[in-house]
Amino acid sequence: MKLPVIISTLTALLIPALAAARVPELSCANHMYREAELAMNPQGQVLLQDSYVGPLDALVKHLAKKHHLPLAHRVSSVRLSVKADDMDCRTLGRYPMDCQTRAGAQGHLLLSLFFGENEMTGSMTLNLPVNVRAFTIKSVLSSPGRVSLGSQAVTVDLKTLVIDAKADLDYEGVSIPATWSTFFHTDAPEGNSGSWCY
């Protein structure tokens, strides 16, 4: 086999491997206590979702006026997605995680809300393009403790991965200072991939 052929063959093998190595495993979900998720989708976007995000009063009032929503409404889920390429991370998808967006980042805010007494009265999901003036994600891994899982209340020794995230967003001139305080359980040691979260 000639040298140019060998080089091109090695290149074809190495480039996909190197590209794959740059994409971290990132998939945490907490559906026991809330609809929380921290993941990276196939498009290379970091997703952070939770049922409890605040404060969003100014945004909700703006959307209620724009879409003629009833006064009685409540946000049920908030998910922010930002391209991983727009984030500087010491560690992404590993503990402890420390990330912040670069200047000029863009993102999408997926907002689910219902109006009336409950979800059966009426609901709406909006996918809002937002300017991301700032977005930071930090995590702390706690000591192991007994955690009850599922309806059978099975207790196991798990660590708690606490996510503290803050975002300064802009949508149609409305400033959105969103804050996430999310947690996941994990049995992975420090430094391992976040794909061990649940």
How confident is the model over 59-85, as a mean pLDDT?
83
Q: How confident is the model at residue 101 (pLDDT cuts 50, 70, 90)?
A: very high
Residue type, 102: R
Strand partners, 136: 100, 166
Tokens for 43? 């498009």
3-state percent breakdown (helix, strand, coil) of the chain, nearest 5: 20, 55, 30
Reference 32, options 153, 196, 145; nearest CA is 153
Measured in Å, how far apart are the chain's first and last C-alpha atoms? Answer: 49
Model confidence at 106, pLDDT cuts 50, 70, 90, reads: very high
Tokens 């040691």 label which residue?
Answer: 189
Which of 24-28, 84-88, 132-136, 193-197 ranks highest by mean pLDDT?
132-136
Is the predicted pLDDT of residue 170 greater than 90, yes or no? yes
The conformation of residue 85, written as its DSSP 8-state character, comes to G
| CA dist., res. 32 & res. 139, Å (int) | 20
In degrees and rounded to multiples of 5, residue 15 shows phi and psi of: -60, -45
What predicted TM-score, i.e. pTM, was given to this entire model? 0.74
CB atoms within 10 A of CB 58: 13
Q: How confident is the model at residue 152 (pLDDT cuts 50, 70, 90)?
A: low
pLDDT of 10 reads 35
CA dihedral 15, 84, 185, 114 (to 10 degrees): -140
> Which amino acid makes up residue 97?
M
Assess whether pLDDT exceeds 90 at residue 133: yes
Residue 180 CA to residue 183 CA, distance in Å, equals 10
pLDDT of residue 196 exceeding 60, the answer is no
Give the 3-state secondary structure of residue 144. coil
Confidence of residue 193 (pLDDT cuts 50, 70, 90): very low
